[in-house]
Amino acid sequence: MVDKEKSSQSSGWFCCGCPSFCTLTNFVIFLLLLYPYVIYDATKLTPMFSEQWFAEVGWWTKFLMLRGMEVRPLPISKLKHHHSSLKVKEFFPERDSEAFTSFLSMAQDPKYDDTILIVRNVWANYTDNPLQPFNNVKHFKAHCDMSQHYNAYHIPKNRPPERMWTNFSNILDSVDEGGKTNDSATAMIFDIGFLESDSYMKEQYYQFWKTLSPDLHKRLLKIKSSSHTFLYWGKQMHTSQHAAFVADYFLQISNTKQWKFAHKTYMPYFGFKRSDFGSVYTGHYMIDDYEGQIPYETVYTRPGDLMYFSTWHAHEVANMEPDKLGFAIGIRPGLAWTSTSFSPLSLYNLMSLPLILHYAARRTLAGFFSEDQVRGKKGHCIGKYDNPFDYGFNGTTLSRFDYRLLDPKTGKCEYSQREWGFQKKEVSGEWSESEWHPDTKQGEIFTYDLAYTEKAWAKYD
């Protein structure tokens, strides 16, 4: 009798430490009750029981439930009803004393989740500010700590990209050299250490906002989240469509960026892949190539513009001024990932939390225990078989380059730009991303092996 009671009690536990009501049956019932609530935001987008309605509801269901599998995008032909749109709201502090107050009242408010907010030309009311001069390599070298080490991407022309872990002086020299010769492109992309590591930049950044808007200064300090920095040359860098689970306060300091934003509810059509820390990305797909069917907003950030945008809105970014250094700093509120107003992605955020924590712990522990763990790996095609493409630099801008292994023993492989039109064929399922389709008409096939990498990167060791 005692054994039966123990057996009955133990069967009421679905997992260790869970109360007795957490049986498998109750867990399934909970999911069934939760599902209609979560999926409701997707069901109300399109006319009920239309072809698009079934397609989008089905896609969101698979995206949420099949976490270990990639979910194929919906054919763009299904998108007949443009159900969502983004708005842009601009503020001008030089002629409106309440500009920052209005900006802060809307930023991070779920009511304005569909609105991109931009404070234009914050330099105007602070013309002698210490950030504006950071538009050339000389000024960086005069004021920043050149001995600090950071990760950066270095992409030789028509060669696979490399990640470099080296001091800031080397990074600046490489950015400058690539801009002068166009034989390479070097950039700090989404760097999460620069603002926190460079004492001068950190002090001047926060003092800048304290002088302009004490309330914004308090908001940014309260966030207590990591920054992300971009440092690059001219028009070399261009991102494909991607989206993240966190919002962004983004200050453009030099050069100009063009942003193309699409509403998060069009995610089923993009062909997004999940990253290992919760965000999503494409295989270098551009929004104009979706047969013009996905609505989007084009926004420009110029030096002195502060932009805020909410979570998960898809965006691609291009730099516009060919002969200028580019520099920008973003601050991402860490808790904003919980505030998205679209229920399917709220649940996705919650389900991604273990991945995010694992990724953060891995980076933190690597930083504590071994410099080699945070150093960028020297680039080569070994290990690229499952995802045989990357960004490459063609002498003008970033492009999609594919790998094909020739000799597993030496790491010798072929490397070429992807044949034009690959996006449409991959999204439709006509091609897979792993197929070899070199652009022999517009480009050239290059042979590459490990010896090149070792020679090129010896100076950074």
Residue-level length of the chain: 461
Which of 65-69, 156-160, 310-314, 315-319 shows the lowest per-residue confidence on average (mean pLDDT)?
A: 65-69
User: pLDDT tens for residues 129-182?
Assistant: 999 999 999 999 999 999 999 989 999 998 888 888 899 999 999 999 999 999
- Indicate the helix (H) or strand (E) that contains 27: helix 24-43
Contact 401, 411 (CB under 8 A): no
Alpha-carbon gap, residue 88 to 117, rounded angstroms: 6
pLDDT band with cut points at 50, 70 and 90 for residue 404: confident
Pairwise pLDDT comparison (436 vs 337), residue with the higher score: 436
Residue 321 pLDDT greater than 90, yes or no: yes
Query: What is the Cα–Cα distance from 236 to 102, expressed in whole angstroms?
Result: 35
Q: How confident is the model at residue 456, as a pLDDT?
A: 44
Superfamily of domain 87-371: Jelly Rolls (2.60.120.10)
pLDDT digits (tens, 9 = 90+) for 253-307: 999 999 999 999 999 999 999 887 778 999 899 999 998 899 999 999 999 999 9
Which range among 103-107, 270-274, 354-358 has the greatest average pLDDT? 103-107
- Tell me the average pLDDT across 213-223: 91
Using the predicted structure, report yes or no on whether residue 377 has a pLDDT greater than 60. Answer: no
Predicted TM-score (pTM) of this structure: 0.87
What average pLDDT does the structure give for the chain?
85
Contact residues for 104 (Cβ-Cβ < 8 A; gap 6+) = 213, 215, 216, 219
Q: Which element (helix H / strand E) includes 203?
A: helix 199-212
| 389: CB partners within 8 A, 6+ apart | 283, 284, 400, 401, 402, 403, 418, 433
Confidence of residue 457 (pLDDT cuts 50, 70, 90): very low
Cβ-Cβ contacts under 8 Å for 277 (sequence gap 6 or more): 355, 356, 359, 360
pLDDT at 8: 42
User: Percent of the chain at pLDDT above 90?
Assistant: 61
Question: Picking from 233-237, 268-272, 348-352, which range would have the lowest pLDDT averaged per residue?
Answer: 348-352
Is residue 355 predicted with pLDDT exceeding 80?
no
Rounded to 5 degrees, φ, ψ at 48 are: -60, 135
| Domain boundaries of the chain, sorted by first residue | 87-371, 389-460
